[in-house]
Structure 1
C-alpha cells in the first residue's frame, strides 16, 4: 500500500456517491476511460471488485462501503486544508458550489441568487440538487451538498442552521371556481378535488394537521413539484395548499384564467425557511462566502 496513488481517493469517493462512471468523469473533468483505469488500479490495490454494475448503476461492495467512510473523511480534510490555504477571491474563483432546493426555492430564490453571484463571482459554478427532505442531513454530512434551504427541521450531528424567513400556508384555486367565492369553509374544502404535492418537497405540514384532525380530502392529482401548478389549476375546480408568497407570485402571472388565494379553513402553524450547512464548512473561506450570499439573498423581500 506504500505505492497507493492518493488521487484515487477522489475517484473512489466520487464514484461511490454517483454510482456512475460517466457522472464521475464529468464531475472530475476527465474522460470516462480515465475513471475506468483508476477503478482498475483500485481493484488491484484492494483485490476486490469494489463496484459491480447492475440496473441501478455501479453498486459498491461491502469492502467499498467500509472504505468509503475513511476515504471520505480524508478527502474532506484535504479539501478543507487546500481551501483554507488558498485565499478565496470571488471575482476570480472558478469554484463549484452545490445547493439543495425545492422547486419552490428554485422559483423564489434562484433568479436573485444567480444575479448576485454573477455580479460578485462571474466564474463560479452553482449546481442545484433537487431537495429530498429525508436525505438532506446525510448529504450535508457526506459533503454531497454544501447547503440546503428547506422549511422542515433537519437534525444530524454537526449540522448548523439559520432561520431566515417566516411563512404560512394558503389555498390556491381558480378565480372563477363555481362553488367557492370569497371564503372557504371546511365543508367546501373537503368536498372539492385537490392537488397534493409529495412530501419530498418538504411541505407536508398541512397534511399532518389534517391527519391530526382525522379528516381526509379528495385527492385528484399527485405531483412531485409545485412549479407546474400555474398550468394545472386555471380553469379547473382543483384546490392546492402552498406557501403564501409563492401563491401570490402565481396569481401575478399573466394567465388566461386568473387564480385567487383564500385562507385555509383550519389552523396550520407558520413555518420557517431555514438555511442548513455542516459546521465543518466554516473552515473554508469560500463556503463562508457562499453562505453569506445565500443569507443576503434570503433576506431580500418576496422570498418564500
Structure 2
C-alpha cells in the first residue's frame, strides 16, 4: 500500500516529468486540489517551492532538479516491490457489491487508482442486495458495501455471521435533489415541504430505504401528503422516470448526482444542511460498512480496501478527499 509520504514522492515524480497537475490528477484518479496538497507537504518538508507555475506548466526549481534523481530511484524501487507483491497476490479477481449510487463512479476510480499499483488485479462492480452477506460467505462476492452492520442482524446471522469481518466506514452527511431541469421545484426554496408537493421517486438502497424512505417518514411525522410515484434500484430507470414526468428524487452520493447531471435535461442540487437534518430528524442517516470474509481479508490488497473506503467518504460526507 502506498502511504501518504510515498504517494507524495510519486506525485512529485509525475509533476516533474509531465509539468501538468491535471495530467497527474487523471493518472492517479484524484482531484487537482489533492495534487496541490501533496506538493504543499513536500514544499514544507524541503523548504522550497519545488515547482514554479507558468503558462507552459510546472517548471522545476534547482532544488527539484537535485531531488528528482533520488525520488525517481525510490519510486522505481517501490514499483519493483509492488510488482513482486502483485505477482504473489492471493486475490487476483474481486467482485465488489455496492449500492447503486456508487455503481457509476467507483469502477472508474478504482481503475485509475489500482492500474499502476496492481495491474494484475481485475475486479467487477455489481449491485448489492439485502442478502449480500450470503454472497460474501459463499465466496460469490469478495467485498460488499452495506448500509447495515451485517454481523449483527438476524437476517445475516443465518448466513455464517462468524465468517464475516465488518468495518464501519462513515455516515452520510448530504443529500441531493434530482429532477428535470425545467421542473418547477427549482423555482422555489428547496425545502422538504416544497419538494413533497411533487411525485416522489424513491431511489432504493438495500438496507437503508427499501422499507421506508426518510422523506416518507418526515411527511408522515408532519402530516404532509406525499405521493410515491415509483420505487427503483436503478439509476437508469430513475433517469427515464425523471425525464418523462414531474417526479423528483433524492440521491445520497455525489458521484450519483454528478452522473445524473451529465444528461441533458436533468439537474441535481445539494440540499442545505438544515434540510438534511430535518430529513433525518426521525429517520436514521445512512451508514456505510465494509464487509468481507475473515479468511479473505488478508488476501485482499490493502490499497483496494483503502481506495474503496476513501472514495465512499469523499462522496457522502463534507470531507474533502
Using the size of structure 1 for normalisation, the TM-score is 0.57
CA offsets per residue over residues 126-185 of structure 1, 9 Å max, x none? 1333211x2122222222211101333322333222233332334322343225534244
Choose which of 163, 168, 171 in structure 2 pairs with 1:166.
171
Alignment check: 8 A CA contact 2:232 2:238 kept: no
Alignment check: 8 A CA contact 2:145 2:290 kept: yes
For structure 1, the 5+ residue unaligned runs are 1-86
Choose which of 267, 289, 313 in structure 2 pairs with 1:274.
289
Cα distance change of structure 1 residues 296 and 113 upon mapping to structure 2, 3 Å threshold: same
Q: Tell me, in whole angstroms, the C-alpha distance in 1 between the residues paired with 2:237 and 2:103.
A: 13
Choose which of 207, 213, 237 in structure 2 pairs with 1:207.
213
SS at match of 1:129: strand
Equivalence for 1:303: 315
Alignment check: 8 A CA contact 1:172 1:239 kept: yes
Choose which of 229, 247, 251 in structure 2 pairs with 1:242.
251
SS at match of 1:303: helix
CA drift at 1:295: 1.7
Cα distance change of structure 1 residues 250 and 128 upon mapping to structure 2, 3 Å threshold: closer
User: Are residue 294 (structure 1) and residue 299 (structure 2) matched?
Assistant: no
Alignment check: 8 A CA contact 1:171 1:262 kept: yes
Q: Tell me, in whole angstroms, the C-alpha distance in 2 between the residues paired with 1:88 and 1:152.
A: 37
Tell me the number of residue pairs that the alignment of Structure 1 and Structure 2 aligns: 213
SS at match of 1:217: coil
CA offsets per residue over residues 48-93 of structure 1, 9 Å max, x none? xxxxxxxxxxxxxxxxxxxxxxxxxxxxxxxxxxxxxxx9831575
For structure 2, the 5+ residue unaligned runs are 1-82, 152-160, 317-321
Paired residues for 1:186-205 under 5 Å: 186-200=192-206, 202-204=208-210
CA drift at 1:193: 0.7
CA drift at 1:292: 3.6
CA offsets per residue over residues 108-131 of structure 1, 9 Å max, x none? 321111222222222332133321
Equivalence for 2:51: none
Equivalence for 1:139: 135
Q: Tell me, in whole angstroms, the C-alpha distance in 1 between the residues paired with 2:186 and 2:263.
A: 22
Paired residues for 1:1-304 under 5 Å: 89-91=85-87, 95-132=92-129, 134-155=130-151, 156-167=161-172, 168-179=174-185, 181-200=187-206, 202-204=208-210, 207=213, 210-211=216-217, 213=220, 217-234=226-243, 236-246=245-255, 248-250=257-259, 252-253=261-262, 255-263=264-272, 264=275, 266-268=278-280, 269-282=284-297, 284=298, 286-287=299-300, 289=301, 291-300=302-311, 302-304=314-316
Equivalence for 1:84: none
Alignment check: 8 A CA contact 1:100 1:149 kept: yes
Comparing 231-240 and 114-123, the one that deviates more: 231-240
Alignment check: 8 A CA contact 2:96 2:142 kept: yes
CA drift at 1:201: 7.4
